[in-house]
Amino acid sequence: CAPIEHHGPCIAVKFYSDELLLVGNGPLLKVYNHITGEVLTSKKIFKRNKIHGIVFQRDTVGIYGARSFSILSMSQILEDDALYEEEKMVNDWIIAGEFCSKGWELYLLTAHNVVLSVDSYSKTLQWERSVFGEKSILYSGSIKVLSQWEVMVNAGTVMDGIIIWDLHRQEVVHALKGHEGSIFSVQSSAENKYIVSCSDDRSIKLWSAKTGELKSTAWGHTARIWNLKFIGDEGVVSVSEDLTARTWRITEDEQLVPVHTYELHNGRHIWGLDVNAEGTIAATGGNDGRVRLIDITVDKVDRESETFTLEQIASQCQDDYQVQKKEIVKGFWQLQCGLVLITSFGGIFQYRDGKWSFVAQKPEFNNLTLTNGFTNQNVMTFTGSNGHTVLMKFDQEGKLIKEEAIHTPVSKVINVLSAVHEDDLYLLVESPNKQDKLTLYALKDSLQVTRQLQLTKAPTFVTTCFEVSSKLIFMGFRLSSLGIYDLETGEELKLIKKLSLSDTITSIRLLQETGDDVLLAITNRDGLYVYLRYNKSSNEHVFVHTNNIRKGFLEGSLTDVDSDDFIVYGFKSSWFYIYNESRDFEVAYENCGGAHRIWKLFHDSNGYKFVYVRDGSLHIRNVPKSPLPLVLSEGTHGREIRDIAIRQGCEKLLNITGAEDTTMKLSTMDKTTGQLRNYWTVRKHTSGLQKVKFLSEDLVASSSAREEFFVWRIDEQFKYPLIALIGTLQPSSTNPDLRIMDFSHKFVYEDGSVVGVFFVNVYSDSTIKSFYFNLSTNQFTPVFSGRYKTSCLWDVRILFHDDSIYILVGGTDGHLSVWNVTQQVPFTLADGQLQLQQLGETKTLSKWDCLVQVHQNGIKDLEVFPDEQGFSVVTAGDDNGLGLVKFILSDSVVGKVVAFEASAASSTVTSLSKISGKRVAAISVDQTSRLWSIDGDKLELCDSLYTTVADTGSSDATTIGGKNYLLVGGIGLSLWEVV
């Protein structure tokens, strides 16, 4: 076996130069060029331990983690191999490290408050120092080298606050008391003016380094704070379990005040933190393995935000514009040539290159004006309440070059929407009068109207958004309905009602059009978003992707012009958010005071611009495209991965991981580099995932507590894979704790083609239930149900032998049980295929046909190897054991344990995966994958490998091009090649 890549908690990040960032990821040290985002090298530094800290002095780098450390030169790191041979060891956990001012020696602070000095060249121990009576355990600490003779040790204890001691004099200088609980980080400022600390009590305390006096206590994080770093002597950055990084400023009266909060990671915990020498960039590393950069320049948010009152706008203009009492901003649009705005009295202004200018005054647009624009064409449209519409065309320099007017056939207008398709601009005019039709205008950017079309809609429907393709018009309505119309005739082709349970369709966007086929991205305000495929000639539609954002209102979606990522935006309490859904991170947020009536989000290759009106003023929040790569490494779930499913029989390593964080991630991994590409984070389950499996190339099922059981379909006709929910099993009980622990499936055929799926599910209350899932109606029909005993069941498999159907069940009591269910199912077995017969009454499962005790307690996983007489089962036990059980199937079922390895691991064996050549990989919580071969009645250990993925709990394997790949999951993911 050989490891390919590791994705897991990133605890250490360190800026090395203004270009290079050192990142510890498990045992690997990665060197990034953080300006370009490129990974220059990735080297394994330790054999078993994870990197917890990185320090350097000129080009000598000290790396430590657990009881290991290594001293390497930068050129060694960049050029040499087998660096793990340089690994050194001490007798205690290393809390902190620092080089002396000359770099000759590396000081290591251990968890019992002892400092060891290591010679940087010979890498041998020189001396150890401590202070008398202070050798109790530490959770954190740091070493501040002031000069060759003066070194301070900041020790964070579990009960007694912080002890600052002088390393060379071995004397306590200050005992900083005031925190409650364990100290998690303590740091000295650049000029040693201050010390900052945090603890279990969630506060940050600022102390005078000279006197030890407490200067300020700051609060803000909603969970424990793990790491702190000074920004010079002026500010502090903190990272926390609550997934945020916060910046704090030290005021003149030495108070710590909050500046900004950044949401950066997934799951739980941010550990790694560093600030560059200039104090402009911070890097963070999360439990999710993600590495992020943030621009922490203190006034950044101010620079990106602009606010103007109408008075300010008017006073900036050459022309003498008198702002009236009660005159407010009524509408605006961002054109390529600048932002154009209209007031409630018809004053039109333009904002370009930081300057406002007056464009025109249109007194006819008193009060109600509906403003639309066509950004790339530099065209604005204004519609008054009487339907009178003015079109304005600007040139690239912002000069008004043409003006036209349209008189709509309706006398009252409540809504005007715009859409663009290639060279055609469309305006849709809606009247409040239920009898009036909708009017669609098609125009060119020369402002010439080319067509006018009347559309009929259901009288109760209110249009909320619209989109045009080359043949079709799509309209979104309140009550979550969608209308599709023929662009040629205006005829309604289809009405899809109730996309979601409630609320309004907020946006429709054409993603792709091929012939009669269109793919749309549709958002609903309640958080649902879908990709819909529609074919004009067949008039059929299918949802090829369905997902939900977590909270807040969903107002629309965008495709990021640089990355092609799917971006969503909307309001969340008093915030407006822009979120990258594909990669699962926040792009930006703005405290705009809540959902507004007048707002718009614009996006182009320069970034995002959120414009809104609040208290009569115009607010512009720019989110310029970052010059820095914001995400250096994507990472995975930040919580335990409970199950992994790799799609079998295809070239790509397409996989789905299901985690404790209740989400599933659909991703691919590069076979050679192990690079992870996440496509979607699926948020349908409401409790931690139990199982996720591929049923076939494009069908997936997943289960969790609350009896959640879902069937999904993957669609790969688009440039990235899509995943849609197609089936939901209704829970049977009101016990929210009832978990579907495992499920097994077989396809059901009729006339040679697949018509449905036969499922058997096992539950935490010892019940066993079987269902038939009809693939055309997507409905579940119960087949049989029964109960084992009272213990929780962990595993189930449906097995065929001869023409009989069996189920094999394992659970917490360490027994395997087998039922012959041939008579209980509405299928017949012929040539290894289930043929559908008549679905009837739900049958009851009687007592098992065979029961065998294999383990002392829980059977965590099993793998089945069929043979002539029946099948052999390899079982993984909570009792550290691995069992081999042989079942002989005839009229009766006979099972016998033929081999048992009591100490197959030093901890629970949690997962098994079949590897070619009658082998299984057994993953255990001792972080070891062991490869066993099954030789007749024997289990033989062939190989054993250590993985740095903690809480090792899941695995899956596949064979591609003759190579075996094993994916191991826990807190992180690691990819292996198994020979």
Partner 1 sequence: MGKSSKDKRDLYYRKAKEEGWRARSAFKLLQLNDQFQLFKGVNRVVDLCAAPGSWSQVLSREIFEKRQETPTDVEPKIVAVDLQPMSPINGVTTLQADITHPMTLTKILEIFGGEPADFVCSDGAPDVTGLHDLDEYIQAQLILAALQLTTCLLRPGGTFVAKIFRGRDIDLMYSQLGFLFEKVICAKPRSSRGTSLEAFIVCLGYKPSATWKPTLDPDVSTEDFFKGANIGRYELREDLEYQEEKRTVAPFIACGDLSSYDSDATY
Question: CB of 159: closest distance to partner 1 in angstroms?
Answer: 5
Q: If you ran DSSP here, which 8-state letter would residue 469 be given?
A: -
Instruction: Report whether 362 contacts 390 (CB < 8 A).
Output: yes
CA-to-CA dists, residue 124 to 104, 107, 113, 130, angstroms: 12, 12, 20, 19
Question: CB of 851: closest distance to partner 1 in angstroms?
Answer: 12
Q: How many CB atoms lie within 10 A of CB 151?
A: 22
Distance CA 566, CA 617 (A): 31
Question: CB of 111: closest distance to partner 1 in angstroms?
Answer: 7
Question: CB of 753: closest distance to partner 1 in angstroms?
Answer: 39
Question: CB of 966: closest distance to partner 1 in angstroms?
Answer: 18
10 Å CB burial of residue 35 (0-12, 13-18, 19+) is: middle
Nearer to partner 1, 53 or 556 (CB): 53
Distance CA 942, CA 794 (A): 27
Question: CB of 47: closest distance to partner 1 in angstroms?
Answer: 7
Half-sphere exposure of 9 (CA within 13 A, CB side): 25
Instruction: Report whether 584 contacts 266 (CB < 8 A).
Output: yes
Residue length of the chain: 979
Torsion of CA 153, 154, 155, 158, to 10 degrees: 180
Nearer to partner 1, 178 or 258 (CB): 178
Nearer to partner 1, 193 or 224 (CB): 224
Q: Write b or e for each residue in 291-315: b if 16 or more Cβ atoms lie within 10 A of its Cβ, otherwise e.
A: bbbbbbeeeeeeebeeebebeebbe
Nearer to partner 1, 569 or 932 (CB): 932
Six token digits for residue 575: 């915030």
Nearer to partner 1, 21 or 138 (CB): 138
Nearer to partner 1, 182 or 452 (CB): 182
Nearer to partner 1, 9 or 483 (CB): 9
Nearer to partner 1, 643 or 813 (CB): 813
Distance CA 245, CA 268 (A): 12
The SS3 of residue 309 is coil
Find, among 666, 658, 701, 645, the residue nearest to 566 by Cα.
Answer: 666
Question: CB of 442: closest distance to partner 1 in angstroms?
Answer: 53
Nearer to partner 1, 184 or 599 (CB): 184
Question: CB of 567: closest distance to partner 1 in angstroms?
Answer: 29
CA-to-CA dists, residue 239 to 118, 260, 633, angstroms: 30, 12, 18
Nearer to partner 1, 138 or 508 (CB): 138
Question: CB of 631: closest distance to partner 1 in angstroms?
Answer: 22
Question: CB of 650: closest distance to partner 1 in angstroms?
Answer: 33
Distance CA 915, CA 71 (A): 39
Question: CB of 953: closest distance to partner 1 in angstroms?
Answer: 9
Question: CB of 792: closest distance to partner 1 in angstroms?
Answer: 4
Distance CA 602, CA 591 (A): 17
Question: CB of 683: closest distance to partner 1 in angstroms?
Answer: 15
Nearer to partner 1, 225 or 342 (CB): 225
Nearer to partner 1, 826 or 972 (CB): 972
The SS3 of residue 320 is coil
CA-to-CA dists, residue 363 to 159, 369, 398, 967, angstroms: 73, 11, 22, 68
Q: Which own/partner pairs from 898-906 qualify as long-range (CB within 8 Å, at least 24 positions apart)? A: 898/872, 898/937, 899/937, 899/938, 899/939, 900/854, 901/939, 901/941, 904/877, 904/880, 904/930, 904/932, 904/939, 905/880, 905/930, 906/880
Please, what sign has the CA dihedral across residues 395, 398, 403, 407?
positive
Nearer to partner 1, 535 or 686 (CB): 686
